[in-house]
A = this chain, B = another copy of it.
C-alpha cells in the first residue's frame, strides 16, 4: 500500500492527468511499474518531457512530506481507478488523478448537494444557506462547499447542526486551512465528513486554484444550489460547470433590489431551477439519489438518503404546530403559546418553511400553508 502511495504521489507531483494514466498503465503494468521505468522508455509513451523528468527524478522532499501526512489513520490518498475514488468525479471532464482526504472517505460516496454563494452575503442569504443545508443534510444528503466565508460557511454549519455530513473542497493543500478563521469549522467538518484537496501539501491559496477546485464541488454533487451570488462571480462559474457536467443547477430568487440576487436570477433565466423550498430540490434529486445509492451501496455499507419526507417530529415541533394556524400569527404570540424562545422559533419556523409546511407573511407573522 505504501509503495502504491509513493508511486501515486510521484505521478501526481509530475502533473500526470487521469486520461494519461490509462495509457501508462496499458504500457507498463501497475503504477509501481510506471515509476520504475527508465526516463528513455517513459518518453516512448508520448508523455511530455517535463512529466517524464518529474517521474524519473521525483521531488523526494515533497513526497516524503506527503507520506508522513498519510501516516495518520484519518488521512487518505484516493487515486484514479481505486474503489474509493468517487464515481461522480470519475464522470467529469478533467477528473483529478488523486485526492488528499482528511476525514471520512465514505462521505464522498453519498448523494450530495453543493451549496455555494457569496463570501459577503446578506443575513437572509446566510440563513437560507444554513436552513437548506441543515434540512437536506438531515435528509441524508452530503452538503458540499468550499470553506469560504459567507454562504460556504453557513452551508457547512447547517449540515453539521443537523448531525449530517459535509465536505469542503479546498483551494489549498489539505494541510492548510483558508481562510484561517475557519480552522475550527474545518476540524468539525473532518469529523464525520471530509476535507478534500487535489493540491500538494503546503500549497498556498493561489487565485487560480479556486475556479479549478470548483469543478470538483459541482462534479461530486448531484446538484448545485446557488444561494446568493453577484453577477460575474465564482459561484456562477461553478453553476456553469455543474450544467456542463450534466448536474442539476438550483438557484434561490430574491428581491430585485438585492444585488446578490442578480447572479441567481441570471442562472434562472439560463434554465436553472427556481427553488423556494427544500422540497423543490428533493423532488429533483431523490430519483437521482436513489440510483446513486445503488452504486454507493457497493462501496459503502451505510444508509443513504432517507425516504421520509416529513420534517422533525419531536415535542418542540409538535408544540409549535399546535400554536400555528392558517391565520397569520406573530412570532411573539407563537412564543407565548409554545413556550419556545425566539431563537428556537426562528430556526424551527425556517425548517418548516423550507419544508413548505409554513409560510412567513409580512410583519413577522406565520401561517400554516395549504
Residues of A whose CB lies within 8 Å of any CB of B are 122, 124, 128, 252-262, 265, 268-269, 274-277, 353, 359-362
Task: From B124, B274, B275, give the contact of A257 (CB < 8 A).
Answer: B124
Contact of A256 among B122, B269, B277 (CB under 8 A): B277
Expressed in whole angstroms, the minimum distance between the Cβ of A58 and any Cβ of chain B is: 49
Which of B124, B258, B261, B360 contacts A259 (CB under 8 A)?
B360
Chain B residue with the shortest CB-CB distance to A359: B259
Is B122 a contact of A362 with CB atoms below 8 Å?
A: yes
Q: Which of B128, B276, B362 contacts A265 (CB 8 A)?
A: B276
Bound complex: CA A310 to CA B353 (Å): 42
Given contacts A262-B276, A274-B269, contact A124 B353 (CB under 8 A): no
Give the most central of A252, A256, A259: most B CB within 10 Å: A256
* Sampled A-B contacts (17; CB under 8 Å): A124-B255, A128-B256, A252-B256, A253-B253, A253-B256, A254-B256, A256-B275, A256-B276, A257-B353, A258-B360, A259-B361, A260-B362, A262-B359, A265-B274, A265-B276, A268-B268, A268-B274
Decide: A254 near B255, CB < 8 A? Known: A262-B276, A274-B268, A274-B269.
yes
* Nearest CB of chain B from residue A331's CB, rounded to whole Å: 13
Inter-chain CA distance A128–B262, complex, in Å, is: 16
Contacts of A260 in B (CB 8 A): 362
Set of chain B residues within 8 Å of A252, measured between Cβ atoms: 256
- How many copies are assembled? 2
Question: Contacts A124-B257, A253-B254 given; 20 further ones with Cβ under 8 A?
Answer: A122-B362, A124-B255, A253-B255, A253-B256, A253-B265, A254-B254, A254-B255, A255-B255, A256-B276, A256-B277, A257-B353, A258-B360, A259-B360, A259-B361, A259-B362, A262-B276, A262-B359, A265-B274, A265-B276, A269-B274
Q: Please measure, in the bound complex, the distance between the C-alpha atom of A277 and the C-alpha atom of B259, giving whole angstroms.
A: 12
B contact residues around A124 at 8 Å (CB): 255, 257
Minimal beta-carbon separation of A264 from chain B (angstroms) = 8
Rounded to whole Å, the gap between the CB of A360 and the closest CB of chain B is: 5
Contacts of A265 in B (CB 8 A): 253, 274, 276
Q: In the complex, what residues of B have CB within 8 A of residue A275's CB? A: 256
A311 to B252, CA, bound (A): 30
Distance from A362 Cβ to chain B, minimum over Cβ atoms (Å)? 5
Q: Determine the distance from Cα of A265 to Cα of B251 in the docked complex, in whole angstroms.
A: 12
Write out the residue numbers on chain B whose beta carbons fall within 8 Å of the beta carbon of A362: 122, 258-260
Chain B residues in 8 Å Cβ range of A258: 255, 360, 362
Bound CA span A275–B359, Å: 24
In the bound complex, CA of A360 to CA of B230 (Å)? 12
4 nearest interchain CB pairs?
A253-B253, A256-B276, A257-B360, A259-B359
In angstroms, Cα B96 to Cα A153, docked, is: 58
**Roughly how many angstroms separate A128 CA and B252 CA in the complex, as a whole number?**
20
Task: Report the Cα distance A327→B269, complex, angstroms.
Answer: 27
Name the B residues within 8 Å of A255 (CB-CB).
124, 253-255, 258
With a cutoff of 8 Å between Cβ atoms, the chain B residues found around residue A359 in the complex are 259, 262
Taking a contact as CB atoms under 8 Å apart, the answer to whether B256 and A261 are in contact is: no
Distance to closest chain B CB from A9 (angstroms)? 45
Chain B residues within 8 Å of A254, by CB: 253-256
Query: Within the assembled complex, what's the spacing in Å between the Cα atoms of A191 and B275?
Result: 44
**Bound complex: CA of A201 vs CA of B355, how far in Å?**
49
- Chain B: minimal CB distance from A368 (Å): 12
A344 to B255, CA, bound (A): 22
